[in-house]
Amino acid sequence: MKTKYTQEQINEMRKMLAIRDIDQIDDSTLFDTFMEGCIGYNNFDDDFIIEHFFNVFDEDDLKK
């Protein structure tokens, strides 16, 4: 799917989502992650990242 976002912007979205998760993680989630693992943001396709990003952040949060 063609997107109006550059690959650099999408990578920034991945980074911002990961930082947000780190800031909000609690001990039980961290335990579950160590026990079960997780799929990292680098493994999700760009369309998923864009959709998830805008469920969390606003357009203004993305550096242009």
Q: Is residue 16 part of a domain?
A: yes
Q: What is the pLDDT along the chain (64 residues), one digit of tens a residue?
A: 678 999 999 999 999 999 999 999 999 999 999 999 999 999 999 999 999 999 999 989 987 5
Q: Has residue 1 been placed in a domain? A: no
What was the pLDDT predicted at 46? 96
Question: What local confidence, expressed as pLDDT, does residue 18 receive?
Answer: 96
DSSP annotation of 47:
H
The CA dihedral of 46, 62, 16, 53, to the nearest 10 degrees, is -50
Domain that holds residue 53: 7-58
Q: Is residue 64 part of a domain?
A: no
**63 lies in a domain?**
no
CB 53, CB 7: distance < 8 Å: no
Q: What is the pLDDT of residue 1?
A: 60
**Domain count for the chain:** 1
Q: What is the pLDDT of residue 63?
A: 75
Measured CA to CA, the distance from residue 21 to residue 16 in angstroms comes to: 9
63: CB partners within 8 A, 6+ apart: 9, 12
Q: Is residue 33 part of a domain?
A: yes
